[in-house]
Amino acid sequence: MYCSNRFSFQECLVLAILLAGIQNIHVHAEEEVHKFLECSNQTGANSFRLYLTLDELVMDCMLVGNAASARQYRNKLELYKSAGLRPKMEIYNRTNSFAFTFTLNMETTTWRVIIPRHNITINTGTAPVDQWYVEISMFHGFAALNAKADLLETLKGTLLDVAREPILQWTIGEEILPQDVLVHQHLIKKLQVTQSPCASDVAVMAPLFAPEGHHTGVVLSVTMSSFTSSGRWFNVTKSLCNLINALCTSGCRGITLLNLKLTNCHLFLLTNRGLFVSQDLLSPVTGPLNFTLLFHPALAQIDYSSATLWFSSECITNRLYFSDDYVSLISNEGSGMALNSKCVYSGYPFKDWYACQVAAVDRHGDTKHRYLSFLYDRYQHTGLLLSYVETNPVAMLSVFTILKSGLKNEAKITPTFLPNYYPSGIFLRNTHVIIYGQEVWASSDRGASFQKLLSLKDDAVVDVLSCNYNSLLVLLTAWGKVFIMRAGLERYSILNVVLTGATFLQCDHMGTLMAVKLDGTSPGGLSHRILPIDTLIQEDVQPFPTTLALQYISPVSVLLHEFPLTLATDPVSNLGTYHIGKIFSLRHGGQIAITDVFQTHFVPGFVYCARGDVLKPVNSLSIYEEPLQKFDLLNQKFDEQGTLAILTPRTTRGKPPPGFEPRHVGMTVVSPGLSSFIIVEASLGQALTRVTMPDPLFNRNLNSGRWLLFDTRPGNWSLHEGPCLHTLESVENLRHNALVRINVRETLSFTFKALKTDHSFSLTRFKKRMKVALTNPTAMRVTARHYWDKTNNHILTLTVYSHVCKKATTLVTVFIPEASLVCSRSSFTFTLENACPEGLSIVYLPSQPISDHEWIYGDPEDENDNKRLFDLPVNYRPPSQLGVLIPTTDNIYNADPSKPRPRQHYPVSKVLRMIYPLLNFNITLFLRRANQADQPLRSPYFVTVTEVNNRTNWAVTGTHHTTTMTMMRRYLKDGFNRTFYNPNGLQISCYGSELFHFRISVIPGVVLCDLVEEVQIYVDKAPLAFPAAYVISCMTAIALGGFLVLGFLLKNISPPTPRNLRALLTRGKAKVAPEAEDENQD
């Protein structure tokens, strides 16, 4: 085997092993799936379900082959081992991705991977979390196999974190056996199901009993495997009745469940006795799940027996966005002027309820609206209210901005009116707003305008289901018919299946569509069957009673002109944009892929026109069936407008021609490169025809061999889904349904390529095959650039710039409208969230880096042999301005409750050490983001600096003043009363000693998250603090002065003698005689 130089020896060896063992691959005839591996926990031919508990995850895989003996099998394993081949498991969700490699165990002849839980997630608390996707590939990462990715099918599955999924942590009442419910199966009219917003395999199902039945109550079934295995059954009737009996005197007899909704944090149960809401599912589990019977003034006049519950499911994993969960309740009593219609809604945590009603400008006189549905659109932060006016009659959709106090009184956009239409409800898809009923309408601009997708005569759509994994939209009608659509909703197909009332549709996390029903023979009480969508789609044939006149505009491109054979003043078209991508097949042979539909026609008499590419040559009627094709035709103008022509067969080579007959009416005369002629009348051998192009060349011959006769009347052609001819790739390998967080003032680019799966060259040059849909175009600036490669493959690059500092989300869908519905990779959807990117932070990095090992174990020194780290004492408290021994802060560092509070030194905790005096110390900050290099923090990321312990003997002594900072300070002068600085050139001076704990924060309004860095500096070898320094100075001065005086005395005065000392000590006192004695002496 020759191996190209661009592949390594190992990759060439892998190819050799692959080709040598290709005969041992099991090939499934229907799916043509090439399997090399089989793994434990598989639930299907190529899928599996894994469950993540608090323990480690273990999975085993083995080769699939037909080795004659165990020895041969072991030899094959040795060959794979020598080539370095082993399976690799990749686990990912919307934001994160991990890869793990299997290890071969020759004793068990299996590959095994053991993954500790903390390698996937370190969180264990109950919370709504994304269910993981898992892919296992034997040849992961080998470039030699990337060119043909479908050569080997990757094993795909899911991983559910059962330790955190909220509803799985609870016991929802009295646990029962499914057989306790199945005995009343004949009284069950419908099965109602609600799925977890973040994990589609987790769902709650409830049987709804007929009102006239003798059995009533509320029974729930909870599954974590999309009802493919046994779940848990609960009877919550008793707990609900206890709440009713405590508040109402009417009692609980006859309580029946009407609907249920599972939000991110709550379970709602709508009964004919009231609306019940569970306690927060994220709260600690201390017993059975408790419910509360909602009693609110806004709910006082609700007729619960006719009420409907509405909720738009959206996975919210960030607690800050839980407020996007909204639930609405609608009831209608009476009709006409006696109509009493109520609509209320509430958002998380569902404490306050508000009335929803049409805008004041839309309430005309005594016109009453029957409220039908109310949903919250998180992309636009609006409420969508669907109502119906019986007096007109007309359906109306109003879009309101939601305020904290309720709906804004005026509609955000002009309401949409749909005359003579009574819808069933609204469904919010990622890309569209859908109104469904006997007709299905869709809006790609969030309710501003609508386009009809589907119209049913004696049926109506009653339920809508979305499969996010494969962008599939499922419509279920009242008669059990199933319609499906893909991303973009350009067209639909009918599945060749009919469901009964006691069966519900379920779409699991891998996008597998299943029909689930009650089954007494199943241990879990339920059974399911997978609906093979691709097979059922191709069985759908959609003819309609019109003629499609064929016209060649090039050897590989044609036009199909829709022409109604029956006369009508206002003919209705059966051809629509939803037929783009369909295959037009003729009974006589030939296939055309419809690429465009034009909803106007420039020739009177025709309705719509479609353009298509010829996949298989289109066959005309044979010369034996219609020998008229051997003769020339004379083309003559019939009317002044040039839209009608007379075709007359002419004698050719002396033979008289057969004439046109009435049986030819509806057939088409086709002359490649010229106008075609559809026969509308035949008489006397001539044919009156309608031309497909105005003003053709009249009064000229259509020579034999230059024209053909095609029978494109109803019954001779069909429209159906063809094979998949397109695929859509992300050049950056962005994952489908990924959540991309974009920072403010950040620019991101995404490139997609539309390819032909048969690797054929496109028949049309420079055709834009891809379209883009945005749910919130104002959230960020998105520009598109279209170009083509050398093989004419369409390439689209989207450039996204976040220009507004506010919470905003938009969902981007890139799709190929003309791709077949059986294509699994013809669309790509991802979410752009204007939010703090994953792992965004600011960090301080010293000029001389300190490694993690040195922080914990080392004792680094600088160039002057000074220690760079300082060990803080246990229970250390920084000093204050009152003195070293008088700390005033409540912050305790290196805390140890077992140790005393005083400032006793136990060197354990380390901080950065600096020598006094610390002047103009550089604080160099960097912006850090996961999987990207650190970037210096610059303007406009201005920062504030505070000292955590309220110390004041420090100052910011340096920052680079810029025009932007000056303008920002002036702009925020009134609303932001703190001084902020440019992080570029930031310097701090500390005039005290010991620990300084600085908190540096980016100012609000710059980024959608709190960016904070804390820098701890210990200033060592400082002068003694107050008052010790002053006391010592004074005592030192006094002592020094005393010694100086003593020295002076000793040097300048003679030393005393013993005589002088005695004289000094015995010196007598002076005697004074009394005055009387003096007189006597005289």
For 738-805, the three-class secondary structure string (H helix, E strand, C coil) is EEEEECCCCEEEEEEEEEECCCCCCCCCCCCCCEEEECCCCCCEEEEEEEECCCCCEEEEEEEECCCC
> What residues are paired with 910 via a beta bridge?
871
Per the model's pLDDT, the better-predicted residue between 844 and 268 turns out to be 268
Task: Give yes or no for a contact between 598 and 659, defined as CB atoms under 8 angstroms apart.
Answer: no
Task: Quote the CA–CA distance of 210 and 260 in Å, as a whole number.
Answer: 16
Confidence of residue 803 (pLDDT cuts 50, 70, 90): confident
- Alpha-helical (H) ranges within 454-590 are 533-538
Range 852-870 average pLDDT: 81
Q: How far apart are the first and last CA of the chain?
A: 161
d(CA 737, CA 723): 25
Fill in the amino acid letter for 267.
L
Most confident among 412-416, 1022-1026, 1054-1058 (mean pLDDT): 412-416
Decide: 223 and 288 in contact? Cβ < 8 Å. no
Residue 248 pLDDT more than 90?
no
Assign residue 525 a region (left: φ > 0; alpha: ψ between -120 and 50; beta: otherwise).
left
For residues 103-108, give the mean pLDDT.
Answer: 85
Q: What is the pLDDT of residue 130?
A: 92
What pLDDT does residue 150 have? 46
**508: nearest Cα among 130, 205, 225:** 225
pLDDT of 797 over the 90 cut? yes
d(CA 786, CA 795): 6
Convert the pLDDT of each residue in 605-615 to its tens digit: 888 899 988 88
Phi, psi of 723 (to 5 degrees): -70, 160
Whether 479 shows a pLDDT value over 60: the answer reads: yes
What DSSP designation does 867 have? B
Structure tokens at 70: 């165990």
pLDDT of the residue at 27? 37
Six-digit token pair at 928? Answer: 């850090």
Per-residue pLDDT, 736: 86
The Cα–Cα gap between 490 and 452 comes to 10
Whether 280 contacts 264, CB under 8 Å: no
pLDDT confidence of residue 30: 36
Q: Round to whole Å and give the CA distance between 558 and 585.
A: 13
Taking residues 701-720, report their average pLDDT. Answer: 87
Residue 25: predicted pLDDT: 40
450-459, 560-569, 637-646, 838-847: the lowest-pLDDT one: 560-569
Q: Of the given ranges (355-364, 880-889, 954-963), which has the lowest mean pLDDT?
A: 880-889
> Among 20-29, 165-174, 319-328, whose mean pLDDT is lowest?
20-29
pLDDT greater than 90 at residue 501: no
In contact, 137 and 152? CB cutoff 8 Å: yes
For the chain, give the percent of residues with pLDDT over 90.
Answer: 21
Range list of H helices, 922-1006:
963-971
Nearest CA to 61 out of 81, 83, 42 is that of 42
With beta carbons less than 8 A apart as the criterion, state whether 436 and 427 touch. yes
- What are the pLDDT digits (tens) for 359-403? 654 555 557 888 999 999 888 888 999 999 887 788 888 888 888
Under a CB-based contact definition with an 8 Å cutoff, are residues 938 and 985 in contact? no
**Cβ atoms of residues 543 and 718 within 8 Å:** yes
The pLDDT assigned to 363 comes to 55
Q: Is the dihedral of CA 252, 257, 261, 262 positive or negative?
A: positive
pLDDT band of residue 975 (cuts 50, 70, 90) is: low
DSSP 504: E
Distance CA(233)–CA(181), nearest Å, equals 9
Q: What is the mean pLDDT of residues 906-924?
A: 77
β-pair type (808-815, 771-774): antiparallel
Of 338-342, 505-509, 898-902, minimum mean pLDDT range: 898-902
Helix (H, G, I), strand (E, B) or coil at 5: coil
* Mean pLDDT (the chain, rounded): 82
Whole-Å CA distances, 219 to 182, 222, 236, 240, 281: 11, 10, 6, 11, 19
In this predicted model, what pLDDT tens digit does every residue of 67-102 receive, in sequence order? 557 788 888 888 878 777 788 899 999 888 899 999
DSSP sequence for 117-183: GGGT----S----PPEEEEEESSTT-HHHHTTGGGSPPEEEEEEETTT-GGGG---SEEE-THHHHT
Neighbouring-strand partners of residue 268: 261, 277
- What is residue 886's predicted lDDT score, i.e. its pLDDT? 57
CA-CA distance, 290 to 109, in Å (whole number)?
50
Per-residue confidence (pLDDT) for residue 170, from 0 to 100: 94
Average pLDDT over residues 220-224: 94
Average pLDDT over residues 978-999: 87
* DSSP-derived secondary structure for 842-861: EEE--SS---HHHHHT---B
* 258 vs 266: CA distance, rounded Å: 17
Q: Give the separation between CA 132 and CA 159, rounded to whole angstroms.
A: 5
- State the pLDDT at residue 460: 93
- Give the alpha-carbon dihedral of 890, 892, 898, 900, to 10 degrees: -70
Look at residue 153 in the predicted model and tell me its pLDDT: 64
Average pLDDT over residues 585-600: 87
Q: Which helix (H) or strand (E) holds 1063?
A: helix 1058-1066
**pLDDT attached to residue 906:** 36
CB 546 within 8 A of CB 610: no
Least confident of 8-12, 544-548, 962-966: 8-12
DSSP-derived secondary structure for 293-334: E---GGGTT--GGG-EEEE------SGGGGGG-EEEEEEEES
Which has the minimum average pLDDT: 140-144, 208-212, 298-302, 762-766? 140-144
- Flag whether pLDDT at 1079 surpasses 50: no
Identify which has the larger pLDDT, 655 or 263: 263
Our measurement of the distance from residue 347's CA atom to the centroid of its chain's CA atoms, rounded to an integer in Å, reads: 21
For the ranges 16-20, 556-560, 582-586, 798-802, the lowest mean pLDDT is seen at: 16-20
- Give the 3-state secondary structure percentages of the chain, helix then strand then coil, rounded to 5: 15, 40, 50
Q: What is the pLDDT of residues 653-694, one digit of tens each?
A: 777 788 899 999 989 999 888 889 999 999 888 999 889 887
Cα–Cα distance measured from residue 375 to residue 982, given in angstroms and rounded to the nearest whole number = 45
pLDDT value at 905 more than 60:
no
The percent of residues above 70 in pLDDT, for the chain, comes to 85
834: number of Cβ within 10 Å:
23
Average pLDDT over residues 904-929: 76
